Amino acid sequence: PAPTGQPSWRHRRFDPDHALGLRLTLAATAAFLVLVPFALLTLLVLGAWAPLHRLDTAVTDALHGYAQDHPAWVALMRVWTEVFAPMPLRAVALLLVVWLLRRGARRLALWAATTMVVGGLIGPLLKLLVGRDRPELLDPVARAAGYSFPSGHALNATLAAGVLLLVLLPYARRGAARAALWVAAVLLTVVTGLSRVTLGVHFTSDVVGGWLLGVAVVAATTAAFTSWRAHTGLRPVRPTRDGVAPEVERQPGAA
């Protein structure tokens, strides 16, 4: 039992007046809930679950047939997948980190770098552990090396979109600007994943796995950053609405 006058652990976790407990609990729960379907999907891929295999094959064959009949579509997807490949996105994230450091937002820069690095390391490790081969197609429109699950393009697009969104939201003071940032983040993530399936270098489940893992990493690092904010006395925020450090936009050096 908690000492007299001392709120219980459960009270601290779920009391709206205790921002640290409530928001950290919700963020950690969100990360866990995303990891559950990712773990389930990984197990289905490892077990070569027949329904998933049939779905992956059907989607791949359908998109491959469309790609063969529409070379302009293939060219567009090739350009997109190169422009928004992991390395260019990491370069953009690095520029963001440098910009934040110049503004004195060292901890926010550390959060952005940590999110990209952690996700960037987990992805290749899982590829080696799962060891799933890429789709084998007659007359492929594109080729890629390495294992297939999870999609590195989908993972890094999700990480970059999440980092850029949560850092830039404080600069979007109007609802329309915030909506535009959300639309851009979703388009970057979805179209990058779609390009990999369209080009026949990934199965649909590879891309979905990359998306889920990316969201889980962003949610987990955001929960850690939210915890730090509360410990330092900064006001509570809703990351999906306010960003992770809204004070940086107004007062350089505050985070």
Q: Which stretches of the chain are DSSP H helices?
A: 9-14, 19-46, 50-69, 71-83, 86-102, 106-130, 152-168, 175-198, 204-231, 239-242, 247-250
**DSSP class of residue 170?**
G
**DSSP class of residue 138?**
S
Distance between CA atoms of residues 187 and 158, nearest Å: 10
Closest CA to 207 of 27, 66, 77, 118: 77
Residue 233: C-alpha distances to residues 18, 149, 219, 228, 237 (Å):
12, 41, 21, 9, 12
Query: What's the pLDDT at 236?
Result: 66
Q: Say how many residues make up the chain.
A: 255
| Residue 9 binned pLDDT confidence (cut-offs 50, 70, 90) | very low
User: Phi, psi at residue 183, to the nearest 5°?
Assistant: -65, -45
Cα 239 off chain centre by = 14
CB 142 within 8 A of CB 201: yes
**DSSP class of residue 8?**
P
| Residue 242 binned pLDDT confidence (cut-offs 50, 70, 90) | confident
Assess whether pLDDT exceeds 80 at residue 44: yes
Q: Which residue is it, tokens 């990360």?
A: 31
CB 141 within 8 A of CB 64: yes
Higher per-residue confidence, 223 vs 21: 223
Full-model pTM = 0.84
Q: pLDDT digit string (tens) for 196-237?
A: 999 999 999 999 999 999 999 998 888 888 777 666 666 667
Closest CA to 52 of 144, 120, 145, 149: 149
Mean of pLDDT values over 127-141: 91
CB 151 within 8 A of CB 206: yes
Q: Which residue is it, tokens 């205790």?
A: 18
